[in-house]
Amino acid sequence: MFHKEGYKIILIATFIVGIGIILVENFVAVEWLNKLLAILLLGFFIFIIQFFRNPKRNTFLNDHSIIAPVDGKVVVIEEVFEKEYFNDKRLQISIFMSPLNVHVTRYPVGGTVNYSKYHPGKYLVAWHPKASEDNERTTVVVENSVIGKVLYRQIAGALAKRIVNYAKPNMQVVQGSDCGFIKFGSRVDILLPLNAKINVNLNDKVKGGEQIIATL
């Protein structure tokens, strides 16, 4: 199953690979080079389709829990001062996605979208300390009746050139449902109340839409 954001790119990649293989078969006479180019084209196509995969996830809805919004590796767990929306201290969990991870973004909690804003910016590597403030990004705040307000931020990386965000102010959203997509390498920050109990450690691999990363 593929994400809808990938349909156009997969179609273009199919066309390019098809034309490429036809050209290789007709104009490359050296057998070993012919095979090598065909393998590279197929490898490129496999990379594209696996990047846009959208596996089904079974979310156990729980208003006391915050689930991982994406697949990836936990690269930051720290107390920070959040100055865009809260203007106070929050616990930040950052999850880095390599190009091989599933890049669907899912709501970490259910509730009402209070805030949703896109920020143009740079394309520093996603683990750069200034990526949260300087890179292209979107900031979304969802208010949950039990936990309160949870902020998540989609951040473009060095390869990511487009962030897709479906969250709109006043929307009622369901925990674990699709809230966006980041194309080709990126990171997501989750900003939580200071009394949240963190359930993950640095360098843990997490599964978006299912794994509980914090509770209140």
Q: How many residues does the chain have?
A: 216
User: In terms of Cα–Cα distance, which of 58, 2, 93 is closest to 176?
Assistant: 58
Determine the Cα–Cα distance for residues 25 and 36; give it in Å rounded to an integer: 11
Determine the Cα–Cα distance for residues 56 and 102; give it in Å rounded to an integer: 11
The residues annotated as belonging to the active site are: 186
**Dihedral angle, C-alpha 7, 48, 122, 180, nearest 10 °:** 40
Cβ proximity of 93 and 213 under 8 Å: yes
Crossing angle (nearest 10°) for helices 7-27 and 31-51: 180
Distance of CA 98 to the CA centre of its chain: 9
Q: Which residue reads 């991982």 in tokens?
A: 68
